[in-house]
Amino acid sequence: VDQTGIKVQLSSYRRSIDNIDAALVHILAERFRCTSQVGELKARHRLPSVDKDREAGQFNRLKSLALEAGLDQVFIENLMRFIIDEVVRRHDDIAAVSGKSAASEKGSIA
């Protein structure tokens, strides 16, 4: 294979990777839409932003899905930790805003 052949092959793989990344961004956007709704539901009913049992269940399920798909389980665990930490941060933001508006509705300045 000459240099041009390598470049053609490489840019073909990269087109696939770019398509997959666009899909990843959109699927993550949808995931955050769902988790925002969870965050709003939790804030409205003053439920805690973290649910350790739910998380443990998610991690176990994801690790078995990763195994099945031939993905490194530790990698998926770390990646999901990263995503879930962002979700919890957003839940706390939603709860803070919701708490403030609830407080202001009651005329509180606290």
- Binding positions for a copy of itself, rule: CB under 8 A: 1, 6, 9-10, 13-14, 16-18, 20-32, 34-35, 37-38, 41, 45, 47, 54, 58, 61-62, 65-66, 69-72, 75-76, 78-80, 82-83, 86
Min dist. Cβ of residue 52 to a copy of itself (A): 14
3-class DSSP assignment, residue 88: helix
DSSP 34-83: HHHHHHHHHHHTT--S--HHHHHHHHHHHHHHHHHHT--HHHHHHHHHHH
Burial grade of 102 (CB within 10 A; 0-12, 13-18, 19 or more): middle
Residues near 83 by beta carbon (within 8 Å), at least 6 away in sequence: 28, 31
Min dist. Cβ of residue 107 to a copy of itself (A): 25
Nearer to a copy of itself (CB atom), residue 6 or residue 96: 6
Residue 106 in tokens: 């009651």
Nearer to a copy of itself (CB atom), residue 72 or residue 101: 72
Nearer to a copy of itself (CB atom), residue 13 or residue 105: 13
Nearer to a copy of itself (CB atom), residue 68 or residue 105: 68
